[in-house]
């Protein structure tokens, strides 16, 4: 039976055993503006904050109020 001469560190052992891979983030396109954004995240476009295709915050209206 083979015996290693030196003990393998836990970090090296974990690197060999891991099966986790880097995945690309899910990018969606806004139906209203056509801009790409992360899924389930609001995004700014021309001074307005959009979420699910609707305006949530209008920056100009918020500054004037």
Q: pLDDT tens-digit profile of 4-58?
A: 899 999 999 998 888 888 888 899 999 999 999 999 999 999 999 999 999 999 9
**What pLDDT, on the 0 to 100 scale, is given for residue 63?**
78
- Cα 47 to the chain's mean position, in Å? 22
Q: In what order do the strands lie in the sheet with 54-58?
A: 43-45, 48-51, 54-58
Q: Are 38 and 30 in contact (CB under 8 A)?
A: no
Per-domain boundaries in the chain: 25-64
Report d(CA 38, CA 36) in Å as an integer: 7
Asked if residue 55 lies in contact with residue 43, where contact means CB atoms within 8 angstroms, the answer is no
């Amino acid at each position: 039976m083979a015996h290693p001469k030196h003990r393998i560190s836990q970090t090296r052992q974990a690197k060999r055993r891991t099966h986790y891979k880097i995945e690309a983030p899910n990018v969606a396109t806004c139906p209203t503006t056509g801009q790409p954004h992360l899924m389930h995240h609001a995004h700014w476009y021309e001074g307005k904050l959009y979420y699910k295709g609707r305006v949530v915050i209008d920056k100009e209206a918020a500054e004037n109020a």
